[in-house]
């Protein structure tokens, strides 16, 4: 019985240790973050706009390091548009061999840190034929096509209920604010459903036809586990995809991660402007 209790208590204990470490770093610059940001492939430049400090993931207890190009592995804490924020400059992916507990560990740590709003961004492949590479899509919902879930196993009661509702994963208020902000700024925004595939191989044309048939507008290899963990912990979530390429079979050309990074770099100016203005409003 003692062993079972010890094992059950370890996840929340580790998370609290991580949150305490990051809280001390935030306190050293007089910051108490309430907004979290996860920056996807090629979208890390927004972190340069934050007036604060960088903490290496390797220095934070419990954090693992990303291995993918375009993911720096820094936690940036400070002020952005007069708001206290913490931003992940790089994320972990399931396909890297990490457990889903490791993938969502930073999200859970953010909740213990006091984050109540989480902006999750990603690079995604466009499935909707009306989309074009370089578009930004606001997530209205998602499809988990992997059969995996970060909430499997022992529930962490301190974070949320055993069976959380997922009928409103992405905050309607944050979606409305983002769409209206894009219209005000002259930034065209798409909206749609994102589907999570495990990767790391890109999807086949047949798989894309199937995903389109079930209602997906974009496909990627992240975001969904983080969004599930965030909603489980009671956070309001905003999801934004940068459509960096059209998915397999939509256009007659091969897919590459280099294209993902290059396209994200081309749209980063609008992306940074949009996120900064949204943060001002929320």
The active-site residue, picked from 18, 122, 128, 222, is 222
Which residue among the candidates 21, 95, 116, 155 is catalytic per the annotation?
95
232 is known as an active-site residue? no
Point out the catalytic residue in the list 93, 110, 246, 264.
93
User: Is residue 93 annotated as a catalytic residue, yes or no?
Assistant: yes
**Catalytic residue, candidates 23, 26, 31, 41:** 41
Q: Which of 18, 23, 171, 245 is catalytic?
A: 245
Whether 170 is a known active-site residue: answer no
Q: Is 96 considered catalytic here?
A: yes
Query: Active site includes 221?
Result: yes
Is the bond preceding residue 200 a cis peptide, omega within 30 degrees?
yes
The first and second tokens of residue 150, run together, are 């970060």
- Is 98 an annotated catalytic residue? no
Cβ distance 40 to 91 under 8 Å?
A: yes
Q: CA-CA distance, 278 to 282, in Å (whole number)?
A: 6
Among candidate residues 109, 221, 233, 235, the one labeled active-site is 221
Options 96, 122, 218, 227, the catalytic residue? 96
Residue showing tokens 């489980």: 232
Is 257 catalytic? The answer is yes
Choice among 19, 26, 109, 123 that is catalytic: 123
Q: Is 71 a catalytic residue?
A: yes
Out of 98, 101, 144, 257, the active site residue is 257
- Could you give phi then psi for residue 33, rounded to 5 degrees? -65, 140
**Residues annotated catalytic, as ranges:** 41, 71, 93, 95-96, 123, 221-222, 245, 257
């Amino acid at each position: 019985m003692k062993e079972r209790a010890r094992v059950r208590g370890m996840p929340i204990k580790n998370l609290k240790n991580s949150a305490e470490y990051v809280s001390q770093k935030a306190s050293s610059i007089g910051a108490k973050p309430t907004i979290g940001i996860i920056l996807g492939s090629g979208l890390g430049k927004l972190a340069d706009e934050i007036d604060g400090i960088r903490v290496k993931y390797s220095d934070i207890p419990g954090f693992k390091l990303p291995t993918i190009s375009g993911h720096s592995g820094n936690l940036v804490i400070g002020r952005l548009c007069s708001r206290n924020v913490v931003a992940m400059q790089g994320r972990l992916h399931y396909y890297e061999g990490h457990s889903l507990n490791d993938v969502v560990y930073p999200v859970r740590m953010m909740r213990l840190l006091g984050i109540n709003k989480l902006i999750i961004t990603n690079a995604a492949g466009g499935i909707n034929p009306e989309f074009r590479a370089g578009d930004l899509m606001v997530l209205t919902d998602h499809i988990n096509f992997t059969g995996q879930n970060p909430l499997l196993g022992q529930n962490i009661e301190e974070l949320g209920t055993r069976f959380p509702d997922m009928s409103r994963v992405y905050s309607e208020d944050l979606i409305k604010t983002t769409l209206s902000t894009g219209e005000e700024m002259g930034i065209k925004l798409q909206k749609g459903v994102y589907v999570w595939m495990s990767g790391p191989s890109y999807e086949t044309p047949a798989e894309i036809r199937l995903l389109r048939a079930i209602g997906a507008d974009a496909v990627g290899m992240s975001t969904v586990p983080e969004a599930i963990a965030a909603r489980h912990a009671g956070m309001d979530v905003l999801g934004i995809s940068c459509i960096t390429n059209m998915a397999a079979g939509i256009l007659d050309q091969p897919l590459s991660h280099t294209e993902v990074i290059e396209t994200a770099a081309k749209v980063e100016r609008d992306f940074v402007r949009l996120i900064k203005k949204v943060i001002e409003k929320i």
